[in-house]
Amino acid sequence: MRPAITMSVVGGVLLLFAALAYGAGHIEASTKFLLAWGKGNWDDLATVATETVTVTVGGKDALIDVVDKKAEVALVFPFRGISSVRVDGAVKGVTVEEITVRIGSEEKKAKGALTIQEKDGKPVGQSFQAGTGRHPQRGHRPDGASGVPR
């Protein structure tokens, strides 16, 4: 009986560490994405982003073209408060409590959300929204009302 209990406890601890490492990898990739974007470090960004990343700020879309090393939108440091977003137990992205982005001469300071997808078994940034306060895959509208956006 005692070996079975020990194995159950060890198995549970290993599962917990695996789950934490899985979520931590997404936080690490997201932080690397944000830092590379903000610094204009295209080599680092290419390791944690899709070829193009759509950034939506206040209803306006802009592109980060990682391949051609061009961005229509800039991240202004600092940012703070990164949390993982899980849907049905799977990490789908992160929220950023406070971030400032600039499109042209217009700056917006708001909450943000980075959507992540898996590419070659690694998490990469796919799209970013500022001003939503909620991750788009959580099914909440930017105006704060519940329900799926239409």
Q: Decide: 50 and 60 in contact? Cβ < 8 Å.
A: no
Q: How far apart are CA 104 and CA 81, in angstroms?
A: 25
Q: Which residue has the higher pLDDT, 16 or 64?
A: 64
**Structural domain includes residue 103:** yes
**Structural domain includes residue 150:** no
Length of the chain: 150
Instruction: Give the domain CATH number at 29.
Output: 3.10.450.50
Q: Cβ atoms within 10 A of the Cβ of 99, count?
A: 26
Residue 89: predicted pLDDT: 86
Residue 146: predicted pLDDT: 42
For range 111-139, the mean pLDDT: 83
Q: Is the pLDDT of residue 112 over 80?
A: yes
Residue 3 is encoded by which pair of tokens? 């070996």
CA distances from 42 to 18, 38, 66, 71, 134 (A): 30, 10, 7, 10, 27
**Structural domain includes residue 144:** no
Number of folded domains that form the chain: 1
**Cα 55 to the chain's mean position, in Å?**
12
**Structural domain includes residue 147:** no
Residue 90: predicted pLDDT: 87
**Structural domain includes residue 132:** yes
Q: What percent of the chain has pLDDT over 70?
A: 71
**Structural domain includes residue 95:** yes
Residue 76: predicted pLDDT: 96
DSSP string, 98-139: EEEEEETTEEEEEEEEEEEEEETTEEEEEEEEES-SS-GGGT
Q: How far apart are CA 47 and CA 45, in angstroms?
A: 5
Q: Is the pLDDT of residue 32 over 50?
A: yes
| Enclosing domain of residue 49 | 2-138
**Structural domain includes residue 73:** yes
**Structural domain includes residue 149:** no
